[in-house]
Amino acid sequence: MKEANFKTDFIVIKALEDGVNVIGLTRGTDTKFHHTEKLDKDEIMIAQFTEHTSAVKIRGKTVIQTSNGEMSNEN
């Protein structure tokens, strides 16, 4: 993804089970958790990378769509 697109592109995360965690990590020298969003089965989160968020860690079974394609962390 080009840097210029990080405020326009969205990632779509669909939870396949209850209790999925979508964790935002800070941009800059320190890489820390700054937000945890909990999703239950079939809930969808649509999110962007921002000046505050450089990475997202996802715990739990989901389907994820990004500009890099669709992937699942389900077995």
Q: Which of 13, 20, 24, 60 binds ligand TRP (CB under 6 A)?
A: 24
Give how many residues touch ligand TRP by CB under 6 A.
10
- If phi > 0 it is left, if psi is from -120 to 50 it is alpha, else beta; for residue 49 that is beta
CA angle 38, 4, 44 (to 5 degrees): 20
Residues in contact with 73: Cβ distance below 8 Å, sequence separation at least 6, in sequence order: 58, 60, 61, 62, 64
Where in 29-58 is the site for ligand TRP (CB under 6 A)?
35, 37, 47-48, 50, 52-53, 56
- Assess 22 for contact with ligand TRP (CB under 6 A): yes
Write down the least CB distance from residue 24 to ligand TRP, Å.
3
Which chain residues interact with ligand TRP by CB under 6 A? 22, 24, 35, 37, 47-48, 50, 52-53, 56
